Amino acid sequence: MKSFRPAIHGWLLLLPAAAFLALFTHYPAVATFWHSFFSTPKGNRPARFVGLMQYETMLDDPIFWIALGNNLVFAAATIPLSIVLAIVMALWVNEKIAGRGLLRLAYFTPTMLPMIAVANIWLFFYTPDYGLLDQIRGLFGLPAWNWLGSRDTALMCLIVVTVWKEAGFFMIFYLAALQQIPPDLGEAASIEGAGRWYFFRRVTFPLLMPTTLFVLINAVINAFRLVDHVVVMTRGGPDNTTSLLLFYIYEVGFKFWDIGYAASLTMVLLAVLGLVACLQFFYLDRRIHYQ
């Protein structure tokens, strides 16, 4: 009987947060799952049960496959790049260098800016002729280039913007983790003759693994959740080369008003994210040392 009371206490304390989570996260997810088996209501035709038809449509939808492919490329590029950059920056600003407070702030600034502002800054960089990039190209006598309007470079441009924005954010987590590592480990290693790279590989990086897992999950979710930059910078163009999953869902749902199909696309996105999260937790988690 006694042991119940703390449990009840705990549940009561969790209740408000749990209620809001259920209302705004769990219920919509379940509702979406439910809607994905129905047709989209149109005018006087109400939604009716269509089973897996929406999912069958998806298999034959070339734009869905393009968006999925784009998203995979986007994730495969942004995640490792931003993590590596974050670690490098964190190691750098963790050193005893003059003005490191300023440097930390500088690296963190992109994260503090609103997404739309970031997108606008980079729109200027990418502008043909007048943009920063083309002005630099001009110095070398190279012709103007339509960065965002070209099929070859549009997705790459989005990737650069995302890495630029995410790396500073992840750096903060790495910096916090680095400061948890006692300095005498480095001293012990230096007495044994370990170089900086060896020490990083054998000690620092393994000790950063819990942070890396956390950052990795965040990075994956962000990669599949990105929509703002696409809306502001390219609107999925040219020729769907920058259409990412969430942007496609947004178009299907709120431009073509095909609610049923959007629901089934959302389920696919959720499934992808769930799968990745499971993999990370159950596979990586076992190989990580927690202090």
Partner 1 sequence: MSRIVVSDIVKDWGGTRAVDRIGFVAEAGRLLVLLGPSGCGKSTTLRLIAGLEEATAGRIEIGGRDVTRLPPAERRIAMVFQSYALFPHLSVAENIVFGLRVRRVDAAERARRLKRVAELVGLAGLLERKPAQLSGGQRQRVALGRAIIAEAPVCLMDEPLSNLDAQLRHEMRSEIRALQRRIGMTMIYVTHDQTEAMTMADHVILMREGRIEQQGTPEDLYTRPASAFAARFLGTPPMNLIALDSVRPHLPPVASEGALLLGVRPERVTLVASGVPALVEAVEYLGADTVIQCRIADQPFAARVPGHAPVGVGDRVALAWDAAEQHLFRKDGGARVESAPPERTGKRPAANAR
Residue ranges in contact with partner 1 by CB under 8 A:
182, 184-185, 187-194, 198, 202-203, 206-207, 289, 291
Nearer to partner 1 among residue 181 and residue 232 (C-beta): 181
Cis link prior to 238 (omega < 30° from 0)?
yes
Nearer to partner 1 among residue 255 and residue 287 (C-beta): 287
Round the CA-based radius of gyration of the chain to a whole number and report it: 24
Give the separation between CA 148 and CA 229, rounded to whole angstroms. 12
Burial 191-212 (b: 16+ CB within 10 A, else e): eeebeeeebeeebbeebbbbbb
Nearer to partner 1 among residue 10 and residue 182 (C-beta): 182
What Cα–Cα distance (Å) separates residue 104 from each residue in 31, 92, 93, 111, 174?
A: 43, 9, 6, 12, 12
Measured from the CB of residue 193, what is the shortest distance to partner 1 in angstroms?
4
Nearer to partner 1 among residue 79 and residue 208 (C-beta): 208
Q: How many residues does the chain have?
A: 291
Nearer to partner 1 among residue 168 and residue 210 (C-beta): 210
Nearer to partner 1 among residue 135 and residue 190 (C-beta): 190
Measured from the CB of residue 197, what is the shortest distance to partner 1 in angstroms?
11
Give the separation between CA 195 and CA 203, rounded to whole angstroms. 11
Contact 127, 134 (CB under 8 A): yes
Nearer to partner 1 among residue 19 and residue 185 (C-beta): 185
The alpha carbon of 288 is separated from its chain's Cα centroid by a whole number of angstroms, namely: 22
Measured from the CB of residue 255, what is the shortest distance to partner 1 in angstroms?
51
Nearer to partner 1 among residue 60 and residue 95 (C-beta): 95
Measured from the CB of residue 14, what is the shortest distance to partner 1 in angstroms?
30
Give the separation between CA 54 and CA 193, rounded to whole angstroms. 62
Measured from the CB of residue 283, what is the shortest distance to partner 1 in angstroms?
18
Joined together, the tokens standing for residue 47 give 């939604």
Measured from the CB of residue 188, what is the shortest distance to partner 1 in angstroms?
4
Measured from the CB of residue 173, what is the shortest distance to partner 1 in angstroms?
18
Measured from the CB of residue 260, what is the shortest distance to partner 1 in angstroms?
50
